Structure 1
Amino acid sequence: MELGLIAAIVGWGVLVGIVFSAIGAAGGILSSFGLITLFGVMEPNSVKPMTQIVVLATALTFVPGYVRRGAVVPSLGVLLGLGGIVGAWAGSTVSALYLSDMATFRPLFGLLTLAIAAQIGWKLYRHWQGARRGEGGAMQPFIGAVTDKVLQLGCMCFRYGDARYRVPVISPLIAGAVIAFTAAIFGVGGGFLMVPYMATILGMPMHIIPATSAIPIFMSLLVSVGNYLNLGAPLDWPILAPLVAGAVLGAVLGPHINRRLANHWLQAAMAVIVTGIGAKYVFF
């Protein structure tokens, strides 16, 4: 492999790592886009586990930084992960058997990313419209650690700043299963669904989402990747190794960006990224 190509793969991996560790999503989407469009991996059952390995390595790199500053809700992450274990096994099995053709995989992948971008864009639009009318305050800046974390029978609670969150236990279990099933089908991490669930349905700020979402993503990816390999999915190591190396480097930088950027800019960045990728696969 030429040195220039290796450098390009590492560079793309850095971008993947920065985006995923700063936002908590879109790392798998970017990784899949790079593997398919930039580096010519045209076997869907190779792209899917390779992408998930990149996401897994990235998550393992950036989570400790968030944990040190207390920007994580471990019990919520574990609940999502428990649901995700079943969903990941089912989704990877269905995908390996019935979604192994690139001509089918690409447009479906594109439609999924466009739907997620539309959802995020609509939320931002409603927020900005409300702000113009004087309804509600600005989106929350980074304010420190999550506190008062309590897991009880039926619900779990935590506090971030002045806001108190109460999440019924059944909600993350079901959400984790559905998200992991969908993510495993398309061979991504699931952050593109996990983040909207946490930000929109649970109302959590973006600054505590990346590490929390990484916990269930890690749990479900171990199951999904193992199942893909067990079903015979091949890995292109000359591409995968430098991509993982770059992603790990990017994951060191991403948490610093998360801490310094306002909540709405993080969400807007994710919407722009997934819109571009979705449009590419659906229309071009």
Structure 2
Amino acid sequence: MQIYLPIAEVSVNAFLLLGLGGIVGILSGMFGVGGGFLITPLLFFIGIPPAVAVATGTNQIVASSFSAVLAHLKRRTVDLRMGTVLLIGGLIGAGLGVFIFNYLKSLGQVDLLVKLCYVLFLGVIGAMMFVESVNAIRNTRKGKAPKRKKHNWVHALPFKMRFRTSGLYLSVLPPLAVGLAVGILAAIMGVGGGFIMVPAMIYILGMPTKVVIGTSLFQIIFVTAFSTMLHATTNYTVDIPLALLLLIGGVIGAQFGTIIGLKLKAEQLRILLAIMVLAVCFKLALDLLLMPSELYSLGMDG
């Protein structure tokens, strides 16, 4: 069933859009990522203009993340206190990120810079998560008990707060810094930032994986909602029919993703997320290296 998208000015199969939204929703519920780094390239592939894909994609992330958070709240796997601290840093970072993005845009080649940021961060984070997860699975099969978390420089910082859901007592400075960094990168790269925040919460803050997923989604909701409002009010690139179909698919998929995620072990979740991150990294790197189908593009000034 073909449906015409007025802002994107293309006709697309409605069931295809529902399926894309559902896939991203499942991944959101399973891994605690908004799915912006996946839904936006997928929309490119089916012919949606980049500006509309970015703006409408963030709208879908809000819905799938909100749906998944509701499921996690029922299971008490969301650390609201930690999420609030991360959110404060994220909103400040998003404001700084917009300023940095506009400055880089004035210098030119911002598109290339964004793609390089994707390849760099996805490659490094995906590789680290993959190696750590493989080692954890090996140790589990050999019957080795997991090593107890040792106190590091993070635990020596001042302004400590108790995060009961995560079972942590540490300074608010590291979560603020993580939120700030994610907010900046999210604004520059046009994503929710979950693929960066989830590993940071696990490896830097030492949060349990099950709690990390729900808490990450809680922060992503507000950051992507803020981004969507900016796009809708300044660029007018949010396509309502496209957003609605992605929303329906995302909300349904997120519920299934949460159920699947709770049935998998923490090591299995991390290695699956690492493989997905590396796959997207490889595709983006390939696009940068291969010769484009169109060497030139024409545009009008103003």
* TM-score class normalised by the smaller sequence: 0.7 to 0.9
Asked if structure 1 preserves the Cα contact closer than 8 Å seen for 2:26 and 2:257, the reply is yes
What is aligned with 2:46? 39
Determine whether 1:124 maps to 2:133: yes
Compared CA separation, residues 65 and 92, structure 1 to 2 (3 A): same
Shift, 1:280, TM fit? 0.7
Asked if structure 1 preserves the Cα contact closer than 8 Å seen for 2:201 and 2:212, the reply is yes
| Distance of 1:49 and 1:225 partners within structure 2 | 6
Determine whether 1:245 maps to 2:248: yes
When the two chains are superposed, the root-mean-square deviation of aligned CA atoms in Å is: 2.7
Deviations 1:150-177 (A, max 9, x none): xx963223256xxx42231111111111
Asked if structure 2 preserves the Cα contact closer than 8 Å seen for 1:23 and 1:210, the reply is yes
> Structure 2 residue aligned with 1:219, among 208, 218, 222?
222
Determine whether 1:235 maps to 2:238: yes
What is aligned with 1:20? 28
Larger displacement relative to structure 2 (124-133 or 240-249): 124-133
Asked if structure 2 preserves the Cα contact closer than 8 Å seen for 1:89 and 1:224, the reply is no
> SS of 1:136's equivalent?
coil
What is aligned with 1:115? 124
Q: Which amino acid aligns with 1:91?
A: G
Deviations 1:22-81 (A, max 9, x none): 110261122112122x222343x4333322211111121121221112111110000000
Determine whether 1:86 maps to 2:92: yes
Larger displacement relative to structure 2 (168-177 or 125-134): 125-134
Deviations 1:155-206 (A, max 9, x none): 223256xxx4223111111111111110121111111111101111122222
> SS of 2:164's equivalent?
strand
Determine whether 1:57 maps to 2:63: yes
Unaligned runs of 5+ in 2: 4-11, 149-157, 288-302
| Distance of 1:275 and 1:121 partners within structure 2 | 9
Larger displacement relative to structure 2 (127-136 or 193-202): 127-136
Determine whether 1:165 maps to 2:168: yes
| Distance of 2:111 and 2:244 partners within structure 1 | 23
> Structure 1 residue aligned with 2:266, among 252, 263, 269?
263
> SS of 1:59's equivalent?
helix
What is aligned with 1:148? none
What is aligned with 1:146? none
Shift, 1:260, TM fit? 0.8
What is aligned with 1:179? 182
Q: Which amino acid aligns with 1:39?
A: I
User: Percent of counterpart pairs with the same letter?
Assistant: 25
Larger displacement relative to structure 2 (118-127 or 7-16): 118-127
| Distance of 1:96 and 1:21 partners within structure 2 | 32
Determine whether 1:198 maps to 2:201: yes
| Distance of 2:34 and 2:125 partners within structure 1 | 10
| Distance of 2:96 and 2:160 partners within structure 1 | 26
Larger CA Rg, structure 1 vs 2? 2
Shift, 1:111, TM fit? 3.3
What is aligned with 2:75? 69
Q: TM-score, normalised by structure 2?
A: 0.78
1:127-146 equivalences in 2 (<5 Å)? 127-128=136-137, 130-131=139-140, 135-137=144-146
Unaligned runs of 5+ in 1: 140-151
| Distance of 1:138 and 1:170 partners within structure 2 | 25
